[in-house]
Amino acid sequence: MRPLLVMDGDSFAHRAYHGVPKTLRRADGGPGNMLLGVSNYLLRFWQSERPRTVLVAWDTLTEPTYRHEALDGYQAGREFDAELLEQLDLLPALVEATGFAVAKAPGYEADDFLGAAAAQEEARGGTVLVATSDRDAFQLASALTTILQPVRGESPTRIGPAEVRERYGVDPEQVPDFIALRGDPSDKIPGARGIGPKKAAALLAQYGSLDALLEDGRFAAEADALRLYRHIATLDRDAPLPPLPDVTPDWAAAAAHARGLGLDGLARRFEEALAWT
Q: With helix as H, strand as E and coil as C, how does the chain read?
A: CCCEEEEEHHHHHHHHHHHCCCCCECCCCCECHHHHHHHHHHHHHHHHHCCCEEEEECCCCCCCCHHHHHCCCCCCCCCCCHHHHHHHHHHHHHHHHCCCEEECCCCCCHHHHHHHHHHHHHHCCCCEEEECCCHHHHHHCCCCEEEEEEECCEEEEEECHHHHHHHHCCCHHHHHHHHHHHCECCCCECCCCCCCHHHHHHHHHHHCCHHHHHHCCCCHHHHHHHHHHHHHHCCCCCCCCCCCCCCCCCHHHHHHHHHHCCCHHHHHHHHHHCCCC
The domain that contains 46 carries what CATH number? 3.40.50.1010
Is residue 215 domain-shared with residue 255, that is, in the same domain? Answer: no
Tell me the CA distances in angstroms from 119 to 123, 153, 203, 253, 257, one per residue in order.
Answer: 6, 31, 28, 30, 32
Q: Which pLDDT value is given to residue 186?
A: 77
Residue 276 domain-assigned (yes or no): no
Is residue 246 domain-shared with residue 215, that is, in the same domain? Answer: no
Is residue 97 domain-shared with residue 210, that is, in the same domain? Answer: no
* Cross-strand partners of 151: 154
Structural domain including 190 reads: 169-233
Is residue 20 domain-shared with residue 118, that is, in the same domain? Answer: yes
Q: Say whether pLDDT at 10 is over 80.
A: yes
Residue 277 domain-assigned (yes or no): no
Distance, first Cα to last Cα, the chain = 17
| pLDDT, tens only, 31-59 | 999 999 999 999 999 999 999 999 999 99
Q: Which pLDDT value is given to residue 67?
A: 78
Task: Name the domain count of the chain.
Answer: 2
Residue 275 domain-assigned (yes or no): no
Is residue 124 domain-shared with residue 176, that is, in the same domain? Answer: no
At a CB cut-off of 8 Å and minimum separation 6, what does 180 contact?
A: 189, 191, 192, 210, 226, 227, 229, 230, 233
Is residue 181 domain-shared with residue 259, that is, in the same domain? Answer: no
Q: Say whether pLDDT at 106 is over 70.
A: yes
Q: Which pLDDT value is given to residue 160?
A: 98
Is residue 147 domain-shared with residue 181, that is, in the same domain? Answer: no
Is residue 174 domain-shared with residue 258, that is, in the same domain? Answer: no
Is residue 114 domain-shared with residue 205, that is, in the same domain? Answer: no
Give yes or no for a contact between 37 and 274, defined as CB atoms under 8 angstroms apart. Answer: no
The domain that contains 215 carries what CATH number? 1.10.150.20
- pLDDT (average), residues 118-144: 97
Is residue 89 domain-shared with residue 127, that is, in the same domain? Answer: yes
Give yes or no for a contact between 189 and 68, defined as CB atoms under 8 angstroms apart. Answer: no
* Cross-strand partners of 148: 131, 158
pTM above the 0.85 mark?
Answer: yes
Q: Say whether pLDDT at 253 is over 80.
A: yes
Q: Say whether pLDDT at 275 is over 90.
A: no
Q: Which residue has the higher pLDDT, 232 or 35?
A: 35
Is residue 108 domain-shared with residue 205, that is, in the same domain? Answer: no
Is residue 173 domain-shared with residue 211, that is, in the same domain? Answer: yes
Residue 274 domain-assigned (yes or no): no
